[in-house]
Structure 1
């Protein structure tokens, strides 16, 4: 229920006018402040000591100032011409101003921490803070316009294709820029900037237009995504450190995509999923040509991948058959126990407590690099004059693996099996009453997700060189589940984004290693409070969590009418 505004129309207009002036002044100050020095020493962030020459981090603040002024000017022009507002001008200005304030606060805190004191913040930093504060207060005094609706806007096909390609190019630039950051404060501030830009896109309605473009040009989106992904190693200048992080991100994302079948589609809470990844990794290590391998049989890698997936799927069937008859909290407890049983079993297979398959807690080290069709993944290769090391080689292989996993996920989601999983997730009793084979589909989800995890684990064994039981603890399962919840259950893009954030943040926040889990917990709390449906949810789950949001309901209904999209669509 909406609370009526107690202000009279005259007072509303006067307050809005005052707010507009304050916001414009603040936006202009935000544009000018980056040309002033912000820090006393060069060692803070990316050298913000030069007068008249903004650093990259200062330039990002200038972009937020331009957005504030641009949205306010656009709002004034549209109000003057009395045209139909499809863009949320005031909403966009509010998000840009709020994001600018958060961004400059993060910058000032980083300077104070790295240079040991607020006294090292130069006058330009305080001017920027004042400008962001004025913009924030001014936009808060303005009345928010109607919820934007650009989802039904149709442009010329070539313009929409350029927009899709431009978004993917910006994603490539942003990923390369973030991964090359060695300073923790710069990385955190950059995340704040990205969050502000995403908020602006959503509140202004631009994200609705981009979403409709991707729906109409899905093939262009997929092609652009893979071109960007394959071009990423070329932006790293042969850095093995950065490509090592990128490789681990893809392994984590591929595993999370398999878990997304179990949790996101079928609604089965699995807290021991990391065991299936470990089963695939141990299988690949045992069958490898390592000097410590315990089985004297070394089939080709393609065969090893299939065997690893089948071993993990068999474990899923063995565990799922007796346990999937329970649900909810009971299923979570059983799967949690399974994860711990797997880890302890791998430790006991040391030749003393059981057969010598894994060498116990020592695991299987010395797993050799792959050699497929004469291509040695351990050698450095040169492409366009850029050296590509072993991690870049495995990165390309993993792209093919995760592409296969995404294809399987999307096909299953859009099939009769996927609809059965969604029915079970929404109401198991109703699905059973309608003739859905509940137990069979749940068991298939468990085994199918396990198979995909085993495939990812077979590559992980060669990337990590060694496989030990301590790599597969409960905390890893919790992170996988958090990636799905954070990104958006049942979606492809959401899980990829969630997995990237949760795997990349710990690597870049090593300077606060003692507080990384605290930051992670606070992030999840904030997400559950303000966006429980995830970063990239489907429309059904978004309406489930915000069924009292009339603006959201109206906007989605208009998008359905204008674009013909099915409400509550599947993977996005």
Structure 2
């Protein structure tokens, strides 16, 4: 049977298939229509959170739609070859436009559906909502039909002058700070706003990665490491100064930093050494309880008040001792057996803290009531429990702990980076990949694993000392294996896996997402674990190496050489 390839058939096919230019014009037109819709009213009543009733003055939800449409528009102009936009898509435009258009359509349709559900029917929609629905749907459908134009981009040295590179890095960090602050500052009474924000930002980040723009930016940051570090520090320090709602969201940022710091410590144990620890949150509790007992709490059984630096040392040393005591007899186990033993240790710690109440055991921890009334820190006369005015801006009490946790985070990052690149770090990686082969090469597996376990416990205890003063109370229920409120062992492990094992930025990103999302979507608390499980399944299916993967994991999970081997072998046999 032969295929008809006559010129008449080819001409008909060419006429019926849409040209890429036509698809791009459809994307541009739909994006412009969506931008216009943001300046129209989407509903007639202010009962819907956010007040989408104004003409010419977009609300926050409409600004999200506006931003998504604008990004889709400029990427479509890049694909069309308009001068000045080509740098946006060095790795191809099709996937980038598709993810941007999909994110914009999903966020817009979610908002409109939420309006009809909350207000009780489509009768509450104004013309702007219908314009937004059509305008966002057209680019998504057209982008899906775009031909694949992906191409491999080899990172090359930037040809821009040094001042231009620094200006770009500064602008990107300023934009990133604005985007992060916008997400954290979303009102808890407007969960629809945070969901739309999450959809748009998530798919936009994926689109920028697919377009190759992030790879180009990484070249600029690699050429200007000192500027990048200074920019990161400046953006982090500036966060409390741009808060408009006082300490409400600064406290969320403090808890994210605590969670991320503990996740980095766990990353040493799991990501570098490959030890599955399911009771790691207990070391956070050890540091918190140790600091609470020596920090002058009225409920402390010791009745002593050490300065903060001494309390930090006590918490870190006690956690180190517990890490060695628990690790010495258990680290001779491997795999599932080690995981079960560490899980048991975590539960033993929680139960023991609840029983040391003077009735079931010695009166040390006040039992289930915990240790309350932990006084705020005071360093060089600076009381962390009071507001202070800096550069004419009043900073709340939690801003003090925010800056303190930035220092702790910097210390933990430095320890992780130095340890990972050291001789012991390479030994951890060797143990993780194949313990038997590593021991055959002369590595003392037990000693190396014990060092990782002890170091991870010390870093968790360090974060625990700050957490005790931030919360001003310590109770056993804060240190469980799994629960609705992080940090707990399950969420810590998930943060490492979600972000990317063995990296620095990965666990920080994973911890931020896993803390911020439940805090902002409290109305879904009953379905939190269900959504959490679905997210992990999708992650393992589509990106098993994590959101920010190291090169070793990326090659391991996405190596195409195995797919080529059978074909080459068959070709070789056929040729022979």
Q: What TM-score, normalized by structure 1, do the two folds share?
A: 0.90
CA distance in 1, matches of 2:446, 2:19: 60
Gaps of 5+ in 1: 1-5, 552-572
CA distance in 2, matches of 1:304, 1:434: 41
Quote the residue 1:406 is aligned against: 413
CA distance in 2, matches of 1:537, 1:132: 32
Whether 2:127 is the aligned partner of 1:126: answer: no
Gaps of 5+ in 2: 1-9, 483-487, 564-576
Whether 2:170 is the aligned partner of 1:158: answer: no
Change in CA separation of 1:163 and 1:538 when aligned onto 2, cut-off 3 Å: farther
Structure 1 stretch displaced more, 233-242 or 336-345? 233-242
Quote the residue 2:226 is aligned against: 219
On the 8 A contact 2:262/2:463 being kept in 1, the answer is yes
On the 8 A contact 2:78/2:89 being kept in 1, the answer is no
On the 8 A contact 2:283/2:461 being kept in 1, the answer is yes
Post-superposition offset of 1:356: 1.1
Whether 2:67 is the aligned partner of 1:63: answer: yes
Q: Secondary structure at the match of 1:387?
A: strand
Quote the residue 2:571 is aligned against: none
Larger Rg: 2
Quote the residue 1:546 is aligned against: 558
1:477-516 equivalence runs, <5 A: 477-516=489-528
Q: Could you give the per-residue CA deviations for residues 325-347 of structure 1, whole angstroms, max 9, x where no partner exists?
A: 11111111111111000001111
Change in CA separation of 1:239 and 1:148 when aligned onto 2, cut-off 3 Å: farther
Structure 1 stretch displaced more, 134-143 or 17-26? 17-26
Whether 2:98 is the aligned partner of 1:94: answer: yes
Whether 2:443 is the aligned partner of 1:439: answer: no
Change in CA separation of 1:487 and 1:549 when aligned onto 2, cut-off 3 Å: farther
Quote the residue 2:475 is aligned against: 468
Quote the residue 1:307 is aligned against: 314
On the 8 A contact 1:153/1:209 being kept in 2, the answer is no
Change in CA separation of 1:306 and 1:69 when aligned onto 2, cut-off 3 Å: same
CA distance in 2, matches of 1:72, 1:363: 58
Quote the residue 1:178 is aligned against: 183
Q: Secondary structure at the match of 1:535?
A: coil
Quote the residue 2:29 is aligned against: 25
Post-superposition offset of 1:25: 2.8
CA distance in 1, matches of 2:237, 2:434: 41
Whether 2:389 is the aligned partner of 1:382: answer: yes
CA distance in 1, matches of 2:39, 2:82: 31
CA distance in 1, matches of 2:129, 2:535: 26
On the 8 A contact 2:240/2:399 being kept in 1, the answer is yes
CA distance in 2, matches of 1:549, 1:32: 48
Post-superposition offset of 1:10: 4.5
CA distance in 1, matches of 2:442, 2:367: 47
CA distance in 1, matches of 2:448, 2:217: 35
Q: Over aligned residue pairs, what C-alpha RMSD do you find?
A: 2.6
Change in CA separation of 1:122 and 1:63 when aligned onto 2, cut-off 3 Å: same
Whether 2:545 is the aligned partner of 1:533: answer: yes
Q: What TM-score, normalized by structure 2, do the two folds share?
A: 0.89
Post-superposition offset of 1:65: 2.0
CA distance in 1, matches of 2:196, 2:44: 18
Q: Secondary structure at the match of 1:43?
A: coil
CA distance in 1, matches of 2:117, 2:89: 44
How many residues align? The count is: 545
Q: Pick the aligned partner of 1:455 from 454, 462, 466.
A: 462
Q: Secondary structure at the match of 2:54?
A: coil
Q: Secondary structure at the match of 2:81?
A: helix
Post-superposition offset of 1:91: 2.6
CA distance in 2, matches of 1:378, 1:7: 77
Whether 2:201 is the aligned partner of 1:194: answer: yes
Post-superposition offset of 1:549: 9.4
On the 8 A contact 1:85/1:148 being kept in 2, the answer is no
CA distance in 1, matches of 2:283, 2:12: 63
CA distance in 2, matches of 1:27, 1:15: 19
